Amino acid sequence: MSDSLLLPPKEAGSFKQIVRCYEMKQYKKGLKTADGILKKFPNHGETLAMKGLIINASSDNLAGGGGGGGAASSLASVEAKKAEAYDLVRLGLKHDLKSHVCWHVYGLLYRSDRNYNQAIKCYLNALRQDPENTNILRDLSMLQIQMRDIKGYAETRQKLFGIRTNSRFNWISFAIGQHLNGNHEMAVEVLNAYHTTLDTSGPNGGPKFSSDLEKYEHGELLLYRAMVLEEGNLFDEALAHLDTCEPLAVDHVGLKEQRARLLLKAGRNAEAEEMYQILVEFQPESHSYHDGLRASMGLPPSTRPDANGGAATSSTPEQIERMTALYAELRDEHPKCSAVQRIPLDFLPVGTQFKTRLLAYVRRRLTRGIPSLFSDLKGLYVHAAKAAVIEALFLEIEESLKKSELFPEASADDMREAPSTLLWTYIYLAQHFDRMNDTPRALAYADAALKHTPTVIDLYLVKAKILKHAGDPVSSALLADMARSMDLADRYLNTICVKKLLRAGHQKQAENTIMLFTRGTGPDDSKHKTAEELSRATQRNLYDMQCSWYEIECGACHERQGELGKALKKYVAVTKHYADITEDQFDFHTYCVRKMTLRSYVEMLRMEDRLHREKAYRRGASGAIRVYVKLHDKKPSGAGGAGVLGAVVRPHARAADIAGRNADGAPLDPDDPNLTPAERKRIKQKLRKAEAKAASKEEKAASKDGTPSTKDDDPDGAQLASTDNPLGEATKIVSMLQQHAPSHVETHLLAFEVYMRSGKAILALQAAKQAVRLSPESPATHRNVCAMFVACERLFAQWDAEKPAEGEKPAVAAARAAQRGTVREVYALERDEMLPKGTGMLDRLEAYNASYLEAHGTLSLAQRSAAGEVLHRMHTPTDWGAAPLTGASRSDSARARGVELMCSADASSSLADRLDALDTLRGVLGTADAHVSSFLSASLQAFPYARCFGGSYELPEEQRPSSTDA
């Protein structure tokens, strides 16, 4: 029998002390005690495991002291300590495989590294040895709810409840598990049973509370019970419960909101209307209350544009009349309320009444100088007729103010308006014409406003936005910097300025600007810190604050400048922030149940489930995928290339991008294809030794108090970008997007790019089909579908031309043939479903392209350009028109028609569409082609200030900041 199974009493007491030291974070003392036991019992598995756990915890502390990009002084030691911790725990398991302690510790190690699936497996193994260990069951339940294994969580909480029925925490957690698992009736029964265990010696036979806190917690529990009933569609029971618990609830507003919602769901509209009237009286500015009130009256609940900018549900004349009367009454009751004045503008049809209400609404806001007036009315612009009425009204207001200093329809005896009213009219008109893509008139009104009162900061931001839309990010950044310089204490102005500087390509100036509001980089700090130290402190502080907007914009700036390593570092930082936010849930799984904030806890879990659909995450993840794809494309075709599938979508790499030698010809890059395997191995060994030596020097140079150096060991992202498998890293992020954001077409467009380059035809086909389902009009979707069919035809031709390898086993050849047969079968089914019938692939693709052009060609230049590119490439013998595509002969007239479509810009073509078409023309025809020059000249005439077309805006000297690096 191993001596790990039993310790003498003295050592057993010491082992308990090790556990206490770990819990109290006394790691040195715990290690010393463990070493003392291991001197006498070197094979004691549980002590070995606890020693590994303590070493791992101390390494986590060391890693936590570094900066956002990792600390060079601690990186090597952290990795070494973690490896030692795992070795010790595995050794402990080897000596005591049936110890629940060893398995539990092994799970804790995996949990600390966020490898939750392995941790759950370890906990389950521990429970096989000790099925009723509450500590292991509790840890397992936390991981299960973290990983959203709701069924497993409900079962684990039921086991814990059965072991300890006298714990309030176990009662409530058991109910939550049943609720989340969809078993609402069981959850209600558990809550009812728990209620019977409470002391009912209070007033009127209710619970007895010793403090206000207990009363609040009980009120939250009662409202949570109502929430469970509501989600179980037990509306009448929930309403009866709210009537009963109303005297005990502390959140009276939440109770009224829930009652109104339940009455509406139960079809008791008259009572719901009465309740929503009470809520509107309480808070008339709440649009959600107004939506509920209209729904209870049988009126359209929403009058605002939908999420895609489309018009809201149309209303009948009778409904409009009823809503008009309703809001006329509400205006009398709440004359100062903005919502009751703004909402009618959404549902009123264009006419005299709409214009009257609009004038009444804007008059007060122009007089008071409300900067957000345009943002407030922007939703009306989805209706072209209402946009025209707004334009006519504001021009009329401008003319009236200039002539008489009065609003239209005002009497001569009314008080004259202040000069600032005309100023804010100019500002609105500048924003209006910018929205209508009339840049000259927008700039004219912006300049008129600046001439009127040049000290208003908002004017510079408005003009900066106009120039951004006109295609001049540099002048836009200068104006934003001018606005910032007028109020140096305003963080918002600093943020806007930094964002515009990054979009203009001025990364260093943007960093110096944002440095004014980061910790440790103030004027006093700059006196005794070098520029590199200040930059490092700025980047670390921004990472610690999870400043995603900066990292996304900075990453995009580096990506545009071709600095892929720096761009990747910023994009990956964004994805890490969201991983940290997900990890932070652990702090709430027990806290919220103890504090009885159960409704907020359930909403938090659901918010976390939607977390990776957030725009910031999608932008960061998309940027990282794009950079990984570019890193893959820079590799020579022999170095992990994409083969036939990737060749169709791969851009051409410049020779300078793939050069891997320095001036004297010595190899520097271990991925250099010119190196032999032995040379590549030696270079990698030397690089590892150099990194370890540098890390050792940094560790010696650390401060005396033991705080690790904050020096970033990879400031340019070179190590991050030097991955041997960029497509593998991109695939991990694509999988996250496909799991959490499958309703966004960009997810599937990126997945297509990655899978095509990885040679995964079926997955690429699946991504293309999903993109077509979500956005059939998307130009990128159309290009991808056509490219996919071309690539697959070439792939199958290559398979047909392959000869059996010498010495290949028949079983291997048969398995490969079966797999390829399956691919061909799936491809044929999807091809016949998506493409029109024809005699050859070229004919079918041409018919598919023609149907796309007919269906979507009138939308914008982007659709016509995509169809033109496909047509041109299909009829180019050196491009998609090469063998093995079959069908009609290649036609010069078809290529000319393709060029015509790519150049078919008109007055409605946006700046972004023209830029995309220009890139397409350059990629298809080359930069020196006459069509490219002609298109560029025409685009410059349409957008004379767009720098991407060679234009610019000459900013007056008085509108420039006094000093700038731009």
Q: In a 3-state reduction of DSSP, which class is residue 743? A: coil
Residue type, 323: M
Report the interhelical angle of 861-874 vs 779-801 (nearest 10°): 20
What DSSP character marks residue 203? G
**pLDDT at residue number 646:** 67
Sequence-distant (≥ 6) Cβ neighbours of residue 275 within 8 angstroms? 256, 259, 260, 263
Q: In a 3-state reduction of DSSP, which class is residue 880? A: coil
- Which parts of the chain sit beneath pLDDT 70? 1-5, 61-76, 204-205, 303-313, 520-528, 637-711, 883, 885-889, 963-966
Q: In a 3-state reduction of DSSP, which class is residue 661? A: strand
Alpha carbon of residue 471 to chain centroid: 26
Per the document, the length of the chain is 966
Sequence-distant (≥ 6) Cβ neighbours of residue 599 within 8 angstroms? 220, 223, 224, 227, 254
Q: In a 3-state reduction of DSSP, which class is residue 294? A: helix
**Residue 484's closest CA among 472, 498, 465, 473?**
498
**pLDDT at residue number 79:** 83
554 token code pair = 């900075």
**712 phi/psi in degrees, rounded to 5:** -80, 125
What DSSP character marks residue 41? -
**pLDDT at residue number 640:** 45
Beta bridge partners of 71: 712
**pLDDT at residue number 231:** 96
**pLDDT at residue number 626:** 96
Q: Which of left, alpha, beta for 635 (phi over 0: left; psi -120 to 50: alpha)?
A: beta
**pLDDT at residue number 1:** 36
How many helices and strands (H and E) does the chain possess?
Answer: 48, 0
903 token code pair = 């150049």
Distance between first and last Cα of the chain: 77
On whether the CB atoms of residues 431 and 442 are closer than 8 A, the answer is yes
Q: What whole-number distance in Å separates Cα of residue 223 and Cα of residue 257?
A: 11
**pLDDT at residue number 109:** 95
For the chain, percent of residues with pLDDT exceeding 90: 69
On whether the CB atoms of residues 464 and 501 are closer than 8 A, the answer is no
**430 phi/psi in degrees, rounded to 5:** -60, -45
CATH of domain 3-199: 1.25.40.1040
**pLDDT at residue number 237:** 95
Buried/exposed code over 752-786 (b: 16+ C-beta within 10 A; e: otherwise): bbbbbbbbbbebbbbbbbbbbebbebbbbbbbbbb
Q: How many CB atoms lie within 10 A of CB 649?
A: 20
**pLDDT at residue number 672:** 52
**71 phi/psi in degrees, rounded to 5:** -95, 125
Tokens 């973290």 sit on residue: 146
Alpha carbon of residue 470 to chain centroid: 27
In the chain, where are the structural domains located? 3-199, 454-504+936-966, 759-800+818-926
Ordered DSSP codes for 526-591:
HTSS-HHHHHHHHHHHHHHTT-HHHHHHHHHHHHHTT-HHHHHHHHHHHHHHHHHHHHTTHHHHHH
What radius of gyration do the chain's Cα atoms show?
34
Q: What whole-number distance in Å separates Cα of residue 518 and Cα of residue 537?
A: 8
**Residue 53's closest CA among 97, 17, 5, 88?**
88
Reported for 962-965, long-range contacts at CB under 8 A and 24+ positions apart, including other chains, are 962/485, 964/478, 964/481, 964/509, 965/506, 965/508, 965/509, 965/512
**Which uninterrupted H or E stretch holds 390?**
helix 384-404
**pLDDT at residue number 529:** 72
